[in-house]
């Protein structure tokens, strides 16, 4: 158990003498030294409330939890998605295989098999993209959760890399306004529709697919020549009579870990081209290898996971703000919300015992500098402490910039990022109580050169592995999602009320709510 | 002091015998009865952990805090934006006056004066919109914080009401990729640019304005015929030689409360037309009058504020998820983050004393049903409890819907909303620990007919007043933002380093970070 380890006791003891960053201890030397260089990214963590003794205890915790071995087992394809002793999913977790397609020789047999399956779909995609050429100007992706948030975040992040004249749209919500809004802006004749559902029976996705098919038919366009399925082999959606093409995904790739599979691949191949899609895979694959093979002290996602556990379990901070200083990452926090909160928002451990310690925090965030003019007031001067993870880039995506009063916009952006990191840590005394900043707000900076497809792939994989490492250390199953079931079952019952098909005592609560619709 | 009141003691005592919603106490009768009807919206709060005794104590708390009187004082224009006994802002708070333009006879003299100023700008806007006719197809709003988040949320929410052929874009971030991305998609000849800054010296906004002006000039378009200023009278931006037109805002309207002033007005008038803009004002005004005049027990934003205080200060829940079951409200939570967290993220009270109780919570959220496939796992089965505020509508915005298996998409959407409210409250027992739902997740539903301009105005004002009521009860100043200053000052110092203009010991921390750029 996480909280019965020797290092947990040590860390608990160390948390009683906290590192104080406000009394001159955030020095230039500290900033120079507390940096870990990894693939594509450096992690600058001088503004976290840790010292060498705490770091050592955190790495001891990782060692006791066998974090590195578990990462290896995951990437080797062992069955790790399960709750021991209870009915549960019983699967390997091999999203890393979807990008292990560059001739790696180290893969274990299960992983190799998965990578071969992935490679087959990638080859199919290359062929498909060549075949369609420039026949379509627009693509609509219909999917929800992992079939929407990750792909959407990547699509928005790579806007400057989009092929000219190509537009991508997303429909996710069962709210009819979502589909109607998108359908207003496209010409069915020139539009490709990618329907994504692993199970082939996601309510929102099937409803929206039907919605869009109807509209295509009304416009005199046969959906058959426009609809593509991304689904599990032999799912109800795996039906060549209805789709122009089908691409497969598998049980060993969870929805929230699926952006580098065909769930994101078809859309990205269309939007940014096949070579750029491969650059994403390559960036992610480099981070995968790093997460698996780098020694703990040099392991970027592991260090980040441990700093997060320090803040969560020993400083007792219940949320994490993820603030990219890059407008292109506008929708990336929404992807991380799913990735992190759906993976680690668990209250029983891998043996089914209730966790006696906090697990996944609330993840939220918006780009800086925008956030500075919004919620930063609370972060600087509220009654709660919010740890922050900043993401920054040395260069902008577009090469055009403008020098105003001696500095470019990119330099202004970076100045703000660094200033916030320092201000949050150091604080400021003042005789006027309303101008006091208590400081000691822990934060770290993930810094890379430029947000291109390769770097974005690495960023995606970095967070996947940070989340997985935290799950390994907390001894929870980061790969199931039993918490979505109850709402789904109740929604079906209430839906039956709307359809007037069923009416029994079990539905009376829903009926009471429905009655309020008519008030 | 908030935590020295008699009702605080009562509430603390009552919090030791919590209302349990899992044991059959969420009955149809409870759902029927625990509803408050207000302008445009009903508040359904049966799934909150309160009973009549707790509600009574909460209303006693509001009475002790003089919440209603303070709302009256605010809307009457008294000086309430201040910290007593210390150097601070010293202003009235009259965003309500920006929509009190329908001939109200009850306004106090200060409020009346403010409303007259607002009316003058509204008339100017009507005239301006008539004058420009259909000369422009696109509008770019350049602003940040309150000049961006509120207007953007409203713009996105009203997509189906946009005039055909008109597009609105926003540039907020100093990140040059933000401006470059927008500039790629517009034709300067047909584009109107609205630059919004009350002070006329917001770094990001002036930088982006210059960025866009340069691009216009390079395209051979004279900015003079395309740029509009929304700013304070006599600010550095109040310069007719540079702008086609100027619209004014005033010290008595805070940035995060300014969407109904010309900060949102010019853009909205262009996008949805002057009449629809007035409908937004009318909806907001109705809520203003309600917040000021409705008795506490019938006051929608007051009840919501009190339920929030119960969750925050007595159930000790540090975050609030705001989940609109409406894709159109996609960017509304980002607006509420600023509104709530910048207003109530304060740690000293109105007399400058440190608060000995929690104030503003972390606000976050994404639309449902999307969230159900993302972070709801943590909400249902995580180790922390997250209170939720749902927003729902009886009808969709577009009238097109599709009946699939006996129900429309809108009915599917509402079924999910109600199902989640019930599931979160009631929970579910199971022999399999991974399938257990503990329930007792407090939540409430704000329900209206249809998200049209009038309803949206009411929704905006509802949250403004909820936040203000909470600030009144916590005895804090919800209208300043001293917490943004330190980062601003440090950013300027680090910027000087980039410009190589200054170099002293004070900048060494920034320099250390800048050195990491070159590693």
Token duo for residue B424: 């979160």
ipTM summary value:
0.96
Given pLDDT bands bounded at 50, 70 and 90, which one contains residue B516? confident
Closest partner residue to B422 among A328, A382, A509, by Cβ?
A: A509
The whole-number pLDDT of residue A504 equals 47
Residue A113's alpha-carbon distances to A76, A98, A109, B31, in angstroms, are 11, 11, 6, 54
A295 touches chain B (CB under 8 A): no
Select from A170, A211, A196 the least CA-distant residue to B404.
A211
Token duo for residue A259: 């952006």
> Using one digit for the tens of pLDDT, what is the confidence trace for B212-254?
999 999 999 999 999 999 999 999 999 999 999 999 999 999 9
Given pLDDT bands bounded at 50, 70 and 90, which one contains residue B72? very high
**Chain A residues within 8 A of B497 when measuring between CB atoms:** 415
| Residues B223, B215: Cα–Cα separation, whole Å | 9
Select from B191, B194, B192 the least CA-distant residue to B246.
B194
Could you give the count of Cα atoms lying within 13 Å of B203 in the half-sphere of its Cβ? Answer: 24
Interval B163-190 mean pLDDT = 96
Q: Under an 8 A CB cutoff, do B360 and A342 touch? A: no
Q: How many CB atoms lie within 10 A of CB B503?
A: 11
Q: Which residue has the tokens 């802006």?
A: A185
The whole-number pLDDT of residue B511 equals 80
Residue A247, preceding bond cis, omega within 30 degrees? no
Closest partner residue to A407 among B27, B355, B499, by Cβ?
A: B499
Token duo for residue A374: 């919004």
Q: How many CB atoms lie within 10 A of CB B24?
A: 8
Q: How many CB atoms lie within 10 A of CB B470?
A: 27
Range B88-118 burial, b when 16+ CB lie within 10 A, else e: bbebbbbbbbbbbbeeeeebbebbbebbebb
Interval B264-270 mean pLDDT = 98
Q: Which residue has the tokens 């210059």?
A: B210
For A159, nearest residue in chain B (alpha carbons): B181
Between the two ends of chain A, the Cα-to-Cα distance in Å is 52
Select from B178, B476, B170 the least CA-distant residue to B341.
B476
> What domains are there in chain B, each with its CATH number?
2-64+294-480 (3.40.50.10490), 123-273 (3.40.50.10490), 488-517 (no CATH)
Give the rounded percent of residues in chain B with a pLDDT score beyond 90: 92
**Chain A residues within 8 A of B83 when measuring between CB atoms:** 432-434
Given pLDDT bands bounded at 50, 70 and 90, which one contains residue B503? low
| Residues B356, B353: Cα–Cα separation, whole Å | 9
What distance in Å separates residue A85's CA from the closest CA in chain B? 10
Is residue A209 within 8 A of residue A147, CB to CB? The reply is: no
Residues 310-329 of chain B whose Cβ lies under 8 A from any Cβ of chain A: 318-319, 325-328
Is residue B444 within 8 A of residue B44, CB to CB? The reply is: yes
| Residues B248, A424: Cα–Cα separation, whole Å | 34
Given pLDDT bands bounded at 50, 70 and 90, which one contains residue B498? confident
Residue A170's alpha-carbon distances to A148, A150, A194, in angstroms, are 7, 12, 10
Q: How many CB atoms lie within 10 A of CB A506?
A: 11
B336 touches chain A (CB under 8 A): no
Residues 110-169 of chain B whose Cβ lies under 8 A from any Cβ of chain A: 144-146, 148-149, 159-160
Is residue A307 within 8 A of residue A48, CB to CB? The reply is: yes
Closest partner residue to A481 among B338, B377, B488, by Cβ?
A: B377
For B145, nearest residue in chain A (alpha carbons): A373
All residues at 6 or more sequence positions from A467 whose CB lies less than 8 Å from its CB, including other chains? A305, A339, A340, A343, A344, A478
Q: How many CB atoms lie within 10 A of CB A508?
A: 15
3-state secondary structure of B136: coil
Substitution target from B201, B313, B375, B503 for chain A, most A beta carbons within 10 A: B375
For A37, nearest residue in chain B (alpha carbons): B519
Q: Name the DSSP letter for residue B25.
A: T
| Residues A465, A289: Cα–Cα separation, whole Å | 11
Q: Under an 8 A CB cutoff, do B383 and A337 touch? A: no
| Residues B106, B96: Cα–Cα separation, whole Å | 13
Active centre residues of A (catalytic): 342, 373, 488
3-state secondary structure of B382: coil
H-helix segments, B254-342: 262-272, 274-293, 300-309, 332-336
Q: Could you say which residues of chain A have pLDDT below 70?
A: 105-106, 501-508, 518-519
B447 touches chain A (CB under 8 A): yes
| Residues B185, A154: Cα–Cα separation, whole Å | 20
3-state secondary structure of B405: coil
Token duo for residue B170: 């926003």
The whole-number pLDDT of residue B504 equals 47
B494 touches chain A (CB under 8 A): yes
Token duo for residue A163: 């092929």
| B459 has a pLDDT exceeding 60 | yes
Q: Name the DSSP letter for residue A171.
A: E
3-state secondary structure of B27: coil
Q: Mean pLDDT of all residues in chain B?
A: 95
For B424, nearest residue in chain A (alpha carbons): A487
| B508 has a pLDDT exceeding 90 | no
pTM of the complete model: 0.96
The whole-number pLDDT of residue B84 equals 96
| Residues A397, A450: Cα–Cα separation, whole Å | 6
The whole-number pLDDT of residue A502 equals 58
Token duo for residue A263: 């769930």
| B506 has a pLDDT exceeding 50 | no
| Residues B420, B388: Cα–Cα separation, whole Å | 10
Q: How many CB atoms lie within 10 A of CB B428?
A: 16
């Amino acid at each position: 158990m996480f909280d019965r380890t020797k290092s947990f006791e040590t860390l608990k003891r160390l948390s009683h003498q906290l590192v104080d960053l406000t009394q001159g201890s955030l020095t230039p030397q500290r900033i120079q030294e507390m940096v870990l260089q990894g693939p594509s990214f450096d992690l600058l963590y001088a503004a976290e409330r840790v010292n060498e003794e705490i770091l050592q205890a955190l790495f001891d915790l990782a060692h006791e939890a066998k974090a590195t071995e578990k990462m290896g087992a995951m990437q080797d394809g062992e069955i790790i998605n399960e709750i021991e002793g209870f009915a549960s999913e019983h699967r390997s977790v091999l999203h890393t295989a979807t990008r292990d397609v560059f001739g790696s020789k180290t893969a274990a047999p299960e992983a190799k098999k998965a990578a071969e399956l992935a490679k087959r779909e990638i080859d199919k995609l290359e062929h498909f993209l060549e075949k369609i050429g420039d026949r379509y100007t627009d693509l609509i992706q219909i999917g929800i959760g992992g079939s929407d948030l990750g792909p959407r975040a990547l699509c928005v992040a790579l806007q400057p890399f989009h092929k000219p004249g190509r537009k991508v749209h997303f429909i996710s919500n069962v709210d009819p306004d979502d589909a109607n809004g998108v359908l207003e802006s496209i010409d069915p004749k020139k539009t490709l529709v990618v329907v994504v559902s692993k199970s082939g029976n996601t309510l929102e996705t099937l409803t929206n697919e039907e919605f869009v098919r109807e509209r295509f038919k009304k416009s005199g366009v046969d959906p058959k020549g426009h609809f593509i399925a991304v689904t599990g082999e032999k799912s109800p959606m795996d039906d060549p009579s209805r789709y122009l093409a089908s691409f497969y995904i598998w049980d060993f790739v969870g929805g929230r870990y699926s952006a580098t599979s065909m769930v994101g691949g078809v859309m990205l191949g269309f939007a940014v081209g096949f070579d750029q899609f491969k650059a994403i895979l390559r960036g992610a694959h480099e981070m995968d290898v790093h997460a698996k093979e780098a020694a703990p002290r040099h392991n970027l996602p592991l260090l980040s996971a441990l700093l997060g556990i320090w803040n969560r379990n020993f400083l007792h901070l219940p949320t994490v703000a993820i603030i990219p200083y890059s407008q292109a990452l506008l929708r990336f926090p929404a992807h991380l919300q799913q990735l992190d909160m759906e993976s680690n928002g668990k209250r029983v451990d891998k043996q089914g015992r209730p966790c006696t310690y906090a697990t996944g925090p609330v993840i939220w965030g918006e780009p800086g500098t925008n956030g500075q003019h919004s919620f930063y007031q609370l972060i600087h001067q509220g009654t709660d402490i919010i740890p922050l993870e900043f993401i920054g880039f040395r260069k902008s995506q577009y090469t055009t910039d403008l020098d105003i009063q001696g500095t470019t916009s990119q330099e202004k952006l970076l100045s703000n990022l660094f200033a916030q990191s320092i201000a949050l840590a150091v604080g400021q005394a003042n005789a006027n109580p309303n101008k006091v900043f208590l400081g000691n707000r822990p934060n770290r900076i993930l810094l890379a050169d430029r947000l291109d497809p390769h770097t974005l792939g690495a960023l995606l994989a970095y967070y996947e592995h940070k989340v997985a490492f935290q799950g390994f250390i907390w001894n929870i199953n980061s790969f199931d999602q039993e918490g979505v079931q109850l709402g789904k079952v109740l929604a079906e019952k209430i839906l039956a009320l709307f359809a007037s098909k069923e009416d029994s005592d079990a539905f009376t609560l829903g009926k009471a709510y429905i009655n309020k619709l008519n008030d």
